[in-house]
Structure 1
């Protein structure tokens, strides 16, 4: 920050310790002192509303409250809007919020993703004036909308594709390594990726981009 002539505002700064609950619950006495200011860890911080256990529960709850606020207002306008205008409204206020940085939700519990799926279902029903007892799967297919559990890996694959073609930040490209088999295999021409590290915790380590990208890329290629 000094190199870029910036100064840290301690009154607006937070610190967070990220890790399993078995570790973070014992960090209540931790403090960080910088320039005569003391910062204490918070259970969640206002960025993407990160929480110390990476459940993103606070973030998803925030998106849910905001999305349904806009859905309620959109429902009042829906009778006066054409389908095209209503679709634009839904994508601007609802779909954009569901998709914003959704790649961080990869590997998150299905319970958390179901909340976002409920938002998408409600928005699709509002757009098409579909009754709640009608099959929502057909509605989403007719609107060409991927369900939330598929939108998350799609975003990671999109970032992977851009990184492999030098259309993404270099720090993402540096996390990807091409798979070079020691012998000639049938999969040699598929141009697969290879993770360079091994993780012990599937619910944590496998969510990293350097692990998730090669895994999803292999599934998509085959």
Structure 2
């Protein structure tokens, strides 16, 4: 799966989508309903795009024509590549497929290339979210209603056939499945109804969804543990360099390697147990001690206040308030992400 840089506006979309998805999945779990989440994996997605098909989508799906379409055509067909090793340079060859992954337009062009996929998924009445080459499907049903999950399998077959005809490769081996539901329900009973390429699939205990680790209980335990492990690894390295770094440079490293991880999609932790939040708070406390060279048993709250660092719980609350402010002032995603729906389920 390709790596795409996520902008702040797109991050807001991701957070909103995750909050909506988690709310739906937690509601279903509460009412003893099973949710199956499938994370599709594409192999070399950006490198196999057919330029002729892409230009057809731009013209007939998006409505780009005349000089603008000619500009895209020139941009796609006049790309060349070469290999340089020391002073030796190979011949230039034309790039016949793909879009530049690290460019500004690359992810956008890939999204436009994938436009027809949404209609294929909707025909099977399967819920889905897409971000660049990340596609996830999810469907909910009562444990005994297996036809819903068979419909999910049929949807994946349709997706694979469409991708094959559009020069994309769905990697079945790396496609992950997460079953969310009551603990009393045996996942093995459901797994036999999910088949990819004629083979039954095994659900994972946790899956990484756009940088967030989700487990079958939606507890975010795995996610928090992963953040702490990675953050302490980087903090250990920074602490070794601390005597040679100025205050500003050390703080820059801590924000780059640790604070960014503590803040990423932290709105999902709203309402989590104090134990999980305290784990992340220990990471921030340790970072503050390394930065200011505060001793282990000295009180850390004054240090955080001096650094103007909000504690973890307040950072989570701030993110929720920021999203709420944007929603109330017309700054929230306005491209159909927020669709009013009745998500509360009632039992007879």
Task: Tell me which interval the TM-score lies in, with the shorter structure as reference length.
Answer: 0.7 to 0.9
Give SS of 1:16's match: strand
Length-normalised TM-score, structure 1? 0.72
Residue number among 50, 69, 72 corresponding to 2:233 in the alignment: 69
CA shift at 1:169, angstroms?
A: 1.9
Q: 1:137 to 1:29 in 2, by over 3 A?
A: same
- Alignment of structure 1 residues 57-206 onto 2, 5 Å: 57-170=221-334, 171=336, 173-174=338-339
CA shift at 1:45, angstroms?
A: 1.0
CA shift at 1:174, angstroms?
A: 4.2
Q: Which protein has the bigger strand share?
A: 2
CA contact (8 A) 1:51 1:58 kept: yes
- CA deviations on 1:92-122 (whole Å, 9 max, x unpaired) are 0111111111111111111111110000000
CA contact (8 A) 2:172 2:197 kept: no
Residue number among 52, 58, 62 corresponding to 2:216 in the alignment: 52
Gap regions ≥5 residues in structure 2: 1-113, 118-165
CA contact (8 A) 2:205 2:216 kept: yes
- Measured in 2, the distance between the counterparts of 1:2 and 1:74 equals 44
Higher relative contact order (Cα pairs below 8 Å, separated by 6+ residues): 2
CA shift at 1:19, angstroms?
A: 2.9
Which has the larger displacement, 102-111 or 90-99? 102-111
Give SS of 1:120's match: helix
- Measured in 2, the distance between the counterparts of 1:175 and 1:130 equals 50
- Measured in 2, the distance between the counterparts of 1:132 and 1:22 equals 44
- Measured in 2, the distance between the counterparts of 1:129 and 1:36 equals 59
Q: 1:159 to 1:2 in 2, by over 3 A?
A: closer
Number of residue pairs matched? 179
- Measured in 1, the distance between the counterparts of 2:345 and 2:263 equals 27
Which has the larger displacement, 165-174 or 113-122? 165-174
Tell me the residue number matched to 1:30.
190
Q: 1:175 to 1:135 in 2, by over 3 A?
A: farther
CA shift at 1:37, angstroms?
A: 4.1
What CA RMSD, in Å, does the superposition of the two structures yield over aligned residues?
2.4
- Measured in 2, the distance between the counterparts of 1:135 and 1:19 equals 42
